[in-house]
Amino acid sequence: MELKDLTPELVATGFSSFRYKGVFIDIPRLTTSVTDNGWIGPDHPGKATAAWGEEMLRTVADYLADFIEEFRKVALPVR
């Protein structure tokens, strides 16, 4: 993956981060404007398998369930 700079002086340092005169700045962009192929990350979708997809879905679902349970412990103000 090769990131696209916005200009020769606004150098892409990440998905939405740039360096300009030594300062890092966040500028949100659509994925398709960041790379030539529109893909971000090490695991290209063309290499995916059904087993990998099931594992990923299960992992994300477990993470979300754990996060929700943990967030329930947060004391929110009552109106």
Domain range enclosing 50: 44-74
β-partners of residue 12 are 18
pLDDT of residue 9: 93
In a domain, 35, yes or no: yes
pLDDT of residue 38: 67
Residue 17: phi, psi to the nearest 5?
A: -115, 145
Query: What tens digit of pLDDT does each residue of 21-34 get?
Result: 999 999 888 777 77
In a domain, 61, yes or no: yes
Mark whether 29 and 52 lie in a shared domain. no
Note whether 38 and 32 are within 8 A (CB): yes
11-12 β-sheet, strand order? 11-12, 17-20, 23-26
Amino acid sitting at position 44 = H
In a domain, 17, yes or no: yes
Mark whether 53 and 32 lie in a shared domain. no
Mark whether 48 and 37 lie in a shared domain. no
pLDDT at 57 over 90: yes
In a domain, 53, yes or no: yes
In a domain, 79, yes or no: no
Mark whether 27 and 51 lie in a shared domain. no
- Tokens for 31? 């994925």
